[in-house]
Chains A and B, each alone.
Chain A
Amino acid sequence: MKWLRQVAALTILNIRTLPQRLGSSTVAVVGIGAVVAVFAGVLSMANGFERTVAGTGSDDIAIVLRDGSNTELTSGLSLEHTRLIAGAPGVRRDANDEPIVSAELFVIVELQKKTTASAANAALRGIQANGQALRKRMEIVEGRMFEPGKYEIIVGRGAQHQFVGLELGNSIRFGQTEWTVVGVFADGGSVFESELWCDVRVLQPAYRRGSTFQTVRAQLVDPASLATFEEALESDPRLEVDVFGEREYYAEQAEPVTNFIRFVGYPLAFLMAIGAIFAAINTMYSSVSARSREIATLRALGFGPSPIALATLLEAAVLGVLGGILGGAVAYLGMNARTASTLDMQSFSQVAFNFAVTGELLIDGLLAALAVGLLGGLFPAVRAARVPVAVALRGF
């Protein structure tokens, strides 16, 4: 109790004298703030990307590709194949007993990025009538759905945000064909929002693909049907296909970005954290030496060495938390909901995702800042406790 009272009084004292050490305290706070901002930035990138990609997958939707092709781009399926796939067990049927599937074709088109005005790849996807129903969160937010058989496209929100010329009503030329933008769609922030969609039956002739497709997207009866469906397709001698659950498929696609975050983002944040710890150590050492006569006076009055050490540690913790708040605020104001795009290594198209600076992440950032502050205060706290009283009272 008395001990706690000492700690509390000494901590308040230290914090009151902070303004006298404004320069070095600011360096520590800003250093820790920078760590938290980078830390939060990296994590929000990971978070946002994960949300985008994880949001893309459903457990009761299967994607079928040609055997050995991990990506839509390298896959190829004939009309005959797509019919066999649609007829397999495990696929849900609609009121007319028609299987709910969408055979799709996916081509790469070149568009101009708004930010850099440079050319970048985008995915133009041809879907069948069920294609929309197979993305549960897909909705038209502006304009209307394309009409079957027409050279009309709808564009994802992310794509529209990213590329030049995708405003509603615009005409846009890809190769030999002129397309009209008739709608804008959202899909809960998934990767599809980075795509452009049209009727697959007009896309096939436009890109001379005859009657071939790349993927079949199938609505399963339930998530458990995936196994049945997969088994049926793999045991069919007429088919050479791979079957993925949609969620698993997109998680795999996200790997390069996840790796970037893991191997570049985290190490960067880690190195900065080490730098910030040294800044905090330096600040706290100068705080202790600036206060050494005060510390000696308090010791002469009977204050114990451990409350003095703890109060020094708490001062460092306060600097850490201030830095955490600063960095968190910077991250939140500067990055939350900001859209970034990254080249999806598998489809070679741009995937847009939002930085998601969540409350949980801010708390993590604050804890990291606290840890940096405490680590920085540790040795200085020991020094504070060991201030030689008789010497320090002489004022040097």
Chain B
Amino acid sequence: MTAADVLVEVAGVTKSYQKGKETVEVLHGLDLTIPRGDFVALMGPSGSGKTTLLNLLGGLDRPTVGGITVDGQAIHAMSGGSLAKWRSTNVGFVFQFYNLLPVLSAARNVELPLLLTNLNGAQRKQHVATALAVVGLTDRASHYPTELSGGQEQRVAIARAIVSDPTLLLCDEPTGDLDRETATEILQLLQALNRDHGKTVVMVTHDPQAAEYAKRILHLDKGSLLEKAA
């Protein structure tokens, strides 16, 4: 694998939290390489540090020790401001509970990341329409989150995650709150984004069936990684 093929490089990452006077080490010296175009399922028992690792990959948190390089950029060394800027163009987040803003319509929710770009109103509209078309919700653009089903909400959230065309999609239990059928639709959508749109996907899941959609499965247990081929 050449350097250009590597999207994410995690090197010797340790993450500890301060709980009162005690220091709890959640991740112990992790090493991980994710090639461009990969679809990784991250599994493991509750409390094993999956969300913590995902937050580190997305630049929402910083490792206590070690380095994380994404697309050649050492994000562990970035300042808060440039990290926020980096997030807006390089990663898309998909959350278990969608995290849509209830007072905004689907289209406005999807538009949010574009407010951080130089695109004008018409261009933003264009991008929003494209993203909504990719997730198959063109006809729901003006609906509010409360008027959508859970699966539709998650698709709006996915549209929001891809609207600024990031390379990396980070999904934390994206189907955790959905029934089997809807979950399948979401997983197929993520698979299509990986296969047809070149997104590198890292998906945390508890569900072995969901993990089947990934190209490979990583197991995190007590803060250490084990790999299993899918």
Q: Which residues of A are at the interface with B, using a C-beta cutoff of 8 A?
A: 1-2, 5-6, 9, 13, 16-17, 293-294, 297-305, 389-390, 393-395
> Looking at chain B's contact residues, is the secondary structure mostly helix, strand, loop, or mixed?
helix
Q: Is B29 an interface residue (CB 8 A)?
A: no
A389 to B54, CA, bound (A): 13
Contacts of A1 in B (CB 8 A): 118
Q: Which 5 A-B residue pairings sit nearest by Cβ, starting from the closest?
A: A302-B88, A16-B103, A390-B61, A297-B99, A302-B87
A308 to B128, CA, bound (A): 23
Contacts of A390 in B (CB 8 A): 52, 55, 60-61
Contacts of B160 in A (CB 8 A): 301
CB distance from A324 to the nearest CB of B (A): 25
Quick check: A300 and B117 within 8 Å, CB to CB? Answer: no
Closest to A15 in B: B103
* Max chain A Cβ within 10 angstroms of own Cβ: one of B80, B104, B113, B115: B115
Given contacts A17-B103, A301-B87, A301-B93, 13 further A-B contacts (CB under 8 A): A2-B117, A6-B115, A13-B104, A16-B103, A299-B60, A300-B87, A300-B93, A301-B113, A302-B84, A303-B116, A390-B55, A390-B61, A393-B99
Known A2-B117, A6-B116: A300·B60 in contact at CB below 8 Å: yes
A1 to B119, CA, bound (A): 11
Pair count A-B, CB < 8 A: 64
Contacts of A393 in B (CB 8 A): 55, 60, 95, 99
* Max chain B Cβ within 10 angstroms of own Cβ: one of A13, A294, A298, A393: A393
Quick check: A301 and B61 within 8 Å, CB to CB? Answer: no
Quick check: A9 and B95 within 8 Å, CB to CB? Answer: no
Q: Which residues of B98-131 have CB atoms within 8 Å of chain A's CB atoms?
A: 99, 101, 103-104, 112-113, 115-118
Quick check: A297 and B116 within 8 Å, CB to CB? Answer: no
Q: Is B51 an interface residue (CB 8 A)?
A: yes
Quick check: B112 and A9 within 8 Å, CB to CB? Answer: yes
Quick check: A2 and B118 within 8 Å, CB to CB? Answer: yes
Quick check: A302 and B103 within 8 Å, CB to CB? Answer: no
Quick check: B101 and A303 within 8 Å, CB to CB? Answer: no
Q: Is B81 an interface residue (CB 8 A)?
A: yes
Known A301-B88, A302-B87, A393-B60: A2·B101 in contact at CB below 8 Å: no
Quick check: B116 and A300 within 8 Å, CB to CB? Answer: no
A389 to B52, CA, bound (A): 12
A300 to B160, CA, bound (A): 12
CB distance from A365 to the nearest CB of B (A): 31
Q: Mark B54-84, 1 if CB is under 8 A from A, else 0.
A: 0100101100000000000000000011001
CB distance from A55 to the nearest CB of B (A): 53
CB distance from A125 to the nearest CB of B (A): 67
A389 to B95, CA, bound (A): 13
Contacts of B60 in A (CB 8 A): 299-300, 389-390, 393
